[in-house]
Amino acid sequence: AQSVTQLDSHVSVSEGTPVLLRCNYSSSYSPSLFWYVQHPNKGLQLLLKYTSAATLVKGINGFEAEFKKSETSFHLTKPSAHMSDAAEYFCVVSGGQAGTALIFGKGTTLSVSS
């Protein structure tokens, strides 16, 4: 069975400062991991994904995440926050094998102040 825990329900940063959104996962198989972003009244958009290749994954809008098997973590980072980054972020795990479900975390709300 797969599960994911997002360690912070709400993160607040100032514009131009680094962003860290934390995610731990549990999976019986080699997992595939994803980060999605959801802006208010908009659909879910994929930020980046890890599917057993490079452990440091770069995504859109300057975000990146590192897969650490020993820590069962997949934290999302960005060197410098922008006002437009304010949104809900979801860490998602799947069993890795095709056909297994994508399981969402509860989400982290990122607020960015000027």
Partner 1 sequence: EAGVAQSPRYKIIEKRQSVAFWCNPISGHATLYWYQQILGQGPKLLIQFQNNGVVDDSQLPKDRFSAERLKGVDSTLKIQPAKLEDSAVYLCASSSNREVYRDRTLNTEAFFGQGTRLTVV
76 scored as a contact of partner 1 (CB under 8 A):
no
53 scored as a contact of partner 1 (CB under 8 A):
yes
Q: Return d(Cα 104, Cα 98) in angstroms, integer.
A: 17
Q: What does the DSSP 8-state code read for residue 37?
A: E
Contacts to partner 1 from residues 77-96, by CB under 8 A: 90, 94-96
Nearer to partner 1, 6 or 73 (CB): 6
Is the separation of the CB atoms in 87 and 37 below 8 Å? yes
40 scored as a contact of partner 1 (CB under 8 A):
no
Q: Return d(Cα 77, Cα 26) in angstroms, integer.
A: 20
Least Å from the CB of residue 17 to partner 1: 26
Q: Return d(Cα 17, Cα 36) in angstroms, integer.
A: 21
Q: Return d(Cα 98, Cα 32) in angstroms, integer.
A: 10
- Interface region with partner 1, contact rule CB under 8 A, candidates 13-21, 67-75, 78-86, 100-108: 100-108
Positions that interact with partner 1 (CB under 8 A): 32, 34, 36, 42-46, 49, 51-53, 90, 94-107
